[in-house]
Each structure stands twice: as C-alpha cells, then as structure tokens.
Structure 1
C-alpha cells in the first residue's frame, strides 16, 4: 500500500493539499481540545492536517509510511512544529518507543486500509497513546475501492465496539455523526467522523503499581527497590530499551542490577539502615558489593569506564544483584490477585575476566534481559515524578517497622537518589580551547560568537527537571542567553532554529575527538529512538523527542529565545 502512495506522491500531494483542513474536517472542529498540546497525525500523507494543527499551536508527530509522500510532506511543513516518522498501524512501533502520550490523535482516511483482523490491536495501540482526557478522531471512508489500493469495509458500529473495549467514550457531537459527501466530488464515496475520548489513565498501570507500593506485604524493601529502579530507568534511560512488543519492553538485566547497586549502596554501606526483617543479611551484598564502597553515584552510571581490577569487582557485584533480583522481588512481585509474576528476568551466564570494563549496552546485556509489561513501563516513564515520592514514603514506613531507634530524617537522606553533581567543567575547557582558534564557537540559542569570560555552559534540557550531565546535553551559550533561559525548555521553534549549530558542535567537539565513545554511549542510553549516535541528525531527533516528553510529563515552561521575531525560518503559532 505504501508503494502506491510513494509512486503517486506528486499527484496525491497536489490533490490532498488542494483541499483545506476546515472543509475536510468540519465535523471534528468542535471536538478538538480547546488547549493545544501534543498531537499525533497517523497517515499524515502530504502534511495538510499536520500543518493546520501546527498553525493552531499543536506540536505534531506526523506518521507516514510512504517514503516519497513523507518527504514531500516534510518539506511542506518545514519551519513548523511538525516532526515526521516512518511508521504505520496497527503497531505504531516507532511511536510507542517514544513513551509519549498525545492530547489529540487524528486517523484520517486510514482506517479502511487496516485489515479487520488487525483493528482490535490498532484500537488498543491508539488508546494507549492517548493522554488522560485525550481525544482520538477517526474518519471512515464508505464506498467502493479502486484497482490499485486495498480498501476494507468500515462501520461506525465496529469502531464504537472496539472503543468500548478500551474504555473510550464516544464524544462525537450530536448532528455530526452522519455521513457527508466526498470533498473531491466522488458521488459513490461518503465519509463519517467518530470522536473518542480517554476519560482517565486507561491502561490500568497506576492501580497495579499503587497496589504493589501500598498494599503488598513486604518482608523486605526489595519490591519497592525494584519498582524504583525501573522507574528511574524508564524516566532517564529510554535509549537502553533493547526491543518493545505489544506485551513487554526489554532492557538489559545488567542495567537493572547496576541501578540496584546504586540505590542500595548508601542505604546498606553508608548508613547501615536495615532493609529486611531480622538479621538475615542481603543476598546481593557480598564481598564484591562492599569492595565498591569507594565508588560514587557518578561512577555507577552508564558509560563509565574502569580498570581491570575494579571492573571485575563491579561486574561481580552486578551479577550478585541480578541473581538476588530474580530470586526475590521478581519472584514475589505478582499481578494483583494472582501468583503470576509481573516481571520476567532471563539471566545469561557471565564470565568475569581481568580486562578493563566500560558500562555500555553490550556489557550490561551479558547478564541477560529483563522484561517489563509495556503499559507499566509507559506509566513509569510518564509519571516518574509522582511515583517516586510514593515509593519513598512507603519505603520509610517499611524501614521504620524494621528499626524504631531513628526518625525518618536519615532514612529520607539515604533514599535521596544520588545524582552526579551538576558538572560542566569539561565542556568549559573545550569551549576555552575553541576560543583560542578562529572562528570562535557560536551561542547555541543566539548564533552570536562567544567571547572569553562571557559564555556559560547550558543544559539544553534543564538540569533541575532532568539530572543529565551527558555531553550531548551541554551546549555553549552566551551568559545572557543562559541566564534568561534559566530552567525552561527550549521551545520547539527555538530548538529547530538551533539545529545546525547544535549538530555542528556535536560533530566538531565530540564526534571528532577522544570523547567520541562517551558521547555515543551517553546519547544512545538517554535519548529515545537513537540507534546510531555517531549520526548527529539521529541524536538531534532524540533530543526533540525527549524535550517533548519532558514538556508533556512535567508541564515545564518553555523559552522562546531572546528575540523570537528574528527566527524568520520558524512560523510561531
């Protein structure tokens, strides 16, 4: 089907864009959310609808599988808040890998291409991509097909039935639920619009997690520890996902073990706070664990490198942690009312060798893989800032039950996630070295040349909202720009305008230097959908996705720059 749309892209581009959005979608205009947010245009075609939404203030992810038509649409929407992706129903695998939710999903002139046996899955996928209160608008084509494309019969009744199975509410305005004539004048073709809404979270993940956090019996803190580790990974390291299916998201088991060590080290070694009832000891805290007492939270991060001696000890500690995780929290963390485990750990035999170690994806995969239900992963990613305080509060209560001789101050202090300090000195040194040669680096946000003692290092995605010191996130800026940006996200248009300056900085400063491996490992771990971070354009696309995730999940204020009117290449909503 995509071949037809690519082969006839030029003619279809002219035909689709000859029609205006308001005329084609008159039935759904009153169903659009009043406040613009994140929109997904499935089967975006030539970009007409994506452009119209962007002009109304929406940030749009436009999905189109036909390569030639997608290219024309991307050029047509250039300069607007539209990001294009190659994906399709029923799976929308690439979109789901972003772990985003959308306030509006438009499926226009697409449903008749989805085979009937795949529609239940398509509706489930679409419903899981909706934000609470989000709206799904589907247009249905009635009438005969043609000799070049496969059209399947559609009906409003079928869509409504599938929607009820996913707890979606039909909000199609009265008076607009009937069929309407074809805008291209084809007498045998009519159209119908169905508008659906997700009234709440809709996935069932939050009740499951709340049950485990609050209601489950706990003889140790291990269940809470596992949930917190997975929440931290989902929030901070989406790029470490190995694969995703309808049922599970898979990450390296060694990554879970690494974060387990990072979480329990201050509790067990630094503060000696009991984590189980009685004096039974800890299955993961063996000699290698205690031998790592000199390592900091910064050391226990993806991308760090160690000599052969420390590396072997660390891998042994990770191995012990993975074994304990499988035997305890994975075994006893079950679906509510069931004995079926919520998570699945598949270990692999690991040989420890006396060689230098770098904590990259390959190394952490040597311990096996860990499977997390997809809707649990998405929930942890989207609601990490809400889930983690709930986990910590319950954790303190559990520890108080083990040991009554301290107040909760030490407990909360030890449970504070040990993030690396806000470090920019390396990038400052790199800027200084670049100032010594012509031309001087440019400010990321204003394009002005930097001057000695009048520049700062900016966290593109603000440190206060997302503790990330990765090289890709540290950008040169004038002192004025950095201080006016403060803790705000760069607006979509500002980021788009800075594209060339950002990728040039990455390429010249990191990818063509001794920091290449560090840059690649960090970017592939922290940013979604970055398979090859040696390609700056791929990293920039990941940065765009992560910016939008933070905006949606945390409602962070945006910064449009010092002089938004000077960004002539971007059409501001």
Structure 2
C-alpha cells in the first residue's frame, strides 16, 4: 500500500503497527516523518512495536553492509525519545541475541500511544528545592540542560543507560546566561563570595573578555568564527579559549561534583563530556519548558538571597530572561535578505521588497529562543501578522520544502561560517556537507511537530 516515510491515508486507523528490522534502513532525514506517519495511522491507545539491530561491526564508513544496504546505527533510546515527544509511552524494552548467530544482537520495544504524558519529576524537584545552595551554578546547569534538550538534541550521545553531553556546549550556554548578569548596571551576585569589592574569578575573567567584545552579539558572531577556525585575531582566539576553559572547570568542580553528592552527573575527561542517566535526561526532553521556567524563577530567588534582598526576584528575573539584541539581529538579517533580487515570502510566494518584508521565526521565538539563520525566513508583513506565534502546520511545511531549502542555500552562500556553525550545533552527528539541506529540513519538521505536540501550540495553515 505504501512505504516509509510516506504512508497513504487509510479510511480507518489501526490498533497495532509493527516495524521489525525496518527502522535501521531509513536515513535520518526520513526518520521523523516515518515515525510521525506511523503515529497518524494509529488509534489512541494503540501500540507500535519495533526492533533494531545492536552492535553491528560489519558496516563500512557509509553504514552499509557488504550488499550495500543501508543500516543506520540508531540507539533504541534515540527512537523512543522521538516517539515519547509525539505522545507515546514505552511499555516494554528487551534485548536478545541474533537467532542466526551473525555476530550482533537486537533490541525490541513496545510503545502505547497515550492522550498525555505523566512522568515523575521528583529528582529534578529535589535539585531545585531541597539541596544545599551556595551559588547559582546549579540552576545554570539545569537551564543549560533544558536548552540543549530543545536546541542541540543531536549533539547528545547515547551509551547504554546514560547520555553524554559536551562540556564545551554547556560552557557556551553559560556564557550567554551570565553575560547579561555580569553586564548589568546593578550588582547581581552569583555565589556567596561574589562581592562588589571582591568579585568572583568568573566575573574577573568575563571582564577581561568583555573589554574585547562589548556586547553578547559580538561574542556569538565571533564564536562562529572561532569554531570554524576563521578567527584571524589570534589574541582574541586565545582569550576565548581560556575564557571557555575556565567556565568548564567551574561547571565540573561545582554543580557536576556536588549535585546529589556527585551521584547524578559525572564528567568524563577522555570524552570531555558530562554524563547523566537516560531516565533523568528523558524528563528534560519531555518537560524542558516547564523545568526551565521553574529553574529561572529559582535562580532569580537565589540572586535575591545572595544580595540580601537588595535585588528583588522580579528584577533578577528580567535580567535572566534577556537575550540577544533582537532588533539589531533583525536589521542585519533584513539587509542580508534584501540582497536577493527575486525575494519572495517563504510561506505564500508573494514578492517582497523593503516596504513589505518582515523577518519570521519559522518556529516562533515564544517557544524556542532560536535566532539561528536557518530559523529566520523572509515573509510578507500581513502574513507574518496572521501567523503570529503559531507554528506552521505539517502540510504547510511540506508544501514549502523547496522554497525553504533554496532560501537556506542562498543564506549559506552569504554567511558560510555563521551558517555552518549554527547548522552543526543543531544537526550534531547528522551533519554532512553533502545534502545538509535535506537533513536540516527533516529535523526542522521534527522540531516543529514535537514542540507543537508537547505544548499544544496553534498551527498556521498559510493562506
């Protein structure tokens, strides 16, 4: 009747769908759409059953066997994480040997499509509310995990029952959070020893870099060059490396070491990654928006306590919520888009010029604080007002695939260093220079659907 990722629309949905030894043959760019269409054909309360091979050592560098068949090395948890975001609940997982003794094993999973999710958050609640507090570094770590769960999911590695997250990625998140706090015209203490007349070592390090980069936007733009190896200013490159290295050490010797007496998070110096149990990571993925709000509020309360109430929680909250200069960012992107002679609205195809051009966050900023170039689209002013904070529907995204991919290729040609950095930060292990636009489109679809599903966001059908 059909094949993955595209399935026909049946007159009735099913109680059970199975995919035994199927999903490993689906490339990453088709994986989410395949799982989404399986969900679309399943009754609420119905079951999805699948199996995956494990520990295959007979594949070449392109993940192909000797017959040249594709075998993507998906981890079981990688698949279930997507399905849980789409409303499934894991019922059973098991592992067994290959019956034909071919040298690998199999994982097997049964999931049920539920109306809603209900998972315990006791561990994270304990971290926020019951553990001893001497600094704001624990909320900063939890906030970074929330943001990585939303923005950088493909940089996370799954190994057995743990996930591994790059320490440098967490440090880069911290820089963004603390930049506005350390730049504030009022003193916002972050540790009990952080005094106006005796600032913390992190604050001193920040001041040395801030003298070279005046605003957060400058740091983020230079960071893209730093990662691409194109930062010509060697002195600045050295400062940025030392700066991020000191923040990494603060993370390792602070919240990693002391959270839950060092039992929850661990640092692997060989991998240069932080590890945590998949069971806890799952909650960050499924409930990142709720956890983030609680973490930021707790962080603001800690600033009030550390300042001995000279800074009230509400004012601290305002600084914690500050991001990049959006107006400046929008003006830069407008100038970039207007260089195109045949500029058109990404959603309607209407011709655009200086008078009717708006910049649209494809996935709205209200749900995802993402100013990456690939999430910013040219759109007609009137259409952008109608879209507002809605997420484009699955049908509209599919219909707009070619204009979206063409637009990305155009922006990539104008800003290759920045675009590549932002692309790798999102695609992670799935980044390849070849066909990156197809993979990005698949993961853009996945992100739009999972955010809309988790938060029950209104969808925009276009015009």
Q: Equivalent residue for 1:345? A: 267
In 2, the alpha carbon distance for the partners of 1:21 and 1:105 equals 25
* Contact residue 86 and residue 450 of structure 2 kept, 8 A: no
Number of the residue aligned with 1:380: 284
Q: Which residue of 402, 408, 417 corresponds with 1:500?
A: 402
Partner residue in 1 for 2:451: 550
Shift of 1:97: 6.3
How far residue 287 of structure 1 moved from its aligned partner, in angstroms, is 4.2
Larger Rg: 1
Secondary structure of the corresponding residue to residue 202 of structure 2 = coil
The structure with more helix, counted as a fraction of residues:
2
Deviations 1:387-437 (A, max 9, x none): 1221223223333333233432332233224344153333322332222xx
Q: For 1:328, what is the secondary structure of its paired residue?
A: helix
Structure-2 change in CA distance of 1:331 and 1:386 (3 Å): same
- 2:128/2:298 contact within 8 Å kept: yes
C-alpha displacement at 1:304, in angstroms?
Answer: 5.2
Match of 1:303 among 198, 218, 224: 224
- Note if contact 1:41-1:106 (Cα within 8 Å) is conserved in structure 2: no
Contact 2:392–2:460 under 8 Å retained in 1: yes
- Cα RMSD of the aligned pairs, angstroms, is 4.3
1:92-131 alignment, distance < 5 Å? 92=76, 94-96=78-80, 98=82, 101-104=85-88, 122-123=108-109
Q: Deviations over 1:180-199 (max 9, x none)?
A: xxxxxxxxxxxxxxxxxxx7
CA deviation string 1:239-284 (max 9, x = no partner): 433x222422222211212222332333345332222335686765
Whether 1:536 and 2:437 are equivalent positions in the alignment is yes
1:516 corresponds to which residue?
A: 416
Please state how far the C-alpha of 1:541 moved relative to its aligned partner.
0.8
Q: Give SS of 1:484's match.
A: helix
> Relative to structure 1, is the Cα distance of residues 222 and 474 closer, same or farther in structure 2, using a 3 angstrom cutoff?
closer
Aligned-partner SS, 1:342: coil
Give, in angstroms, the shift of residue 131 of structure 1.
7.8
Q: Name the counterpart of 1:476.
A: 378
Gaps of 5+ in 2: 24-32, 54-69
Q: Tell me, in whole angstroms, the C-alpha distance in 1 between the residues paired with 2:113 and 2:428.
A: 19
What's the TM-score, normalizing by structure 2? 0.74
The residue number in structure 1 matching 2:66 is none
CA pair 100-547 structure 1, distance change in 2 beyond 3 A: farther
Deviation digits for residues 308-361 of structure 1 (CA, Å, limit 9, x no counterpart): 222222221211111121112111102xxxx4421122347xxxxxxxxxxxxx
Higher relative contact order (CA 8 A, sep 6+): 2
In the alignment, structure 1 residue 290 sits paired with structure 2 residue 216: no
5+ unaligned residues in a row in structure 1: which ranges? 1-9, 30-39, 67-84, 135-198, 349-364, 563-573
Counterpart Cα distance in 2 of 1:210 and 1:277: 23
Partner Cα distance (1:217, 1:549) in 2: 35
Per the normalisation by structure 1, the TM-score is 0.61
